[in-house]
Structure 1
Amino acid sequence: MLAQSLQREVCGIDVNSTELVQAARVFGHELRLSFVAADIQTLALPRDVFDVILLPAYVQYFADPAALIVRLLAQLREDGELHILDSPLYATPQRCQESAARSLRYFTELGVPQLAAHYHQHTYATFDRFAVQWLFDPRRWSARVRKTLRLPQPHFPWLRLRKRDNVRAIGS
């Protein structure tokens, strides 16, 4: 949809080849869309090449999201943006521990407790070293009111990090 609506080249990168096969089946007719099966943490990518990088429902699969963010910000062009959305964040380390315990129970009930080691909980403070624009923040008063009134809204935060605002964080 992005490739078509924005008339841009879009590249989907994922370590999960099953997901990529499904994406290619559904969206493979798009000429401006390509898929790469690779680990984004080790894939050799040129610097300063992307306009936008999206991480939907992604950050919780990385033990060190700050290192991932630094790496991805370096791949952006000068005016590029990194968007992180649909990933749970927690207010305190204690909330992270509670979530980790729930995840372990969940994966244990599924018969695959080892998967819990691949699901990481992060606090909002994880992003304190970066200049972040919170496009949606469920901690805001307005979001809590909307939730109480059962009005539609995202469940998880949406963060935008601009490369030009984070030059110091990426060491450029």
Structure 2
Amino acid sequence: MSITSLEELFVHDLSDVYNAEKQLTKALPKMARAATNPNLIEAFKLHLEETQGQIERLDQVVESIEGLRLKRMKCHAMEGLVEEAKELIDSVEKGEVLDAGLIGGAQKVEHYEIAAYGTLTALAKKLGYTEAAKLLHETLEEEKSTDEKLTQIAGE
């Protein structure tokens, strides 16, 4: 695939993060079931609801830009992060060590999403997609907040 413009890069990155969020909606329930810390379990459940809202917000981003269509693609970065979490769940006994690993894995996901939404927000602004930039920034702030919550849980 050859990307030759900021618009094409924006569509590519938006399509990528859309798939990433879809993958995450399948992974978060598994992570919640594997966790033992009640605050971590609750954080995963809340983030699942938030992620579903973020997918709806991505749909709004697409609707806000005339003629924009997402590409069908797989986010390989999220696929790898989800696979790492699955391997951790399969190989570490339930308890404090697994919870710590799940927090680390979830923070890797959040940092990936923070980078993705930061880039998308900047691209949307540069392209003059004002409504899209506002929506994407909203999600960026949610991702930062989730990362902070995970850090707090790790310190308990």
TM-score class normalised by the smaller sequence: under 0.3
Greater gyration radius: 1
Q: TM-score, normalised by structure 2?
A: 0.27
Q: Counting strand residues as a fraction of each chain, which structure ranks higher?
A: 1
Q: TM-score, normalised by structure 1?
A: 0.25
Q: Counting helix residues as a fraction of each chain, which structure ranks higher?
A: 2
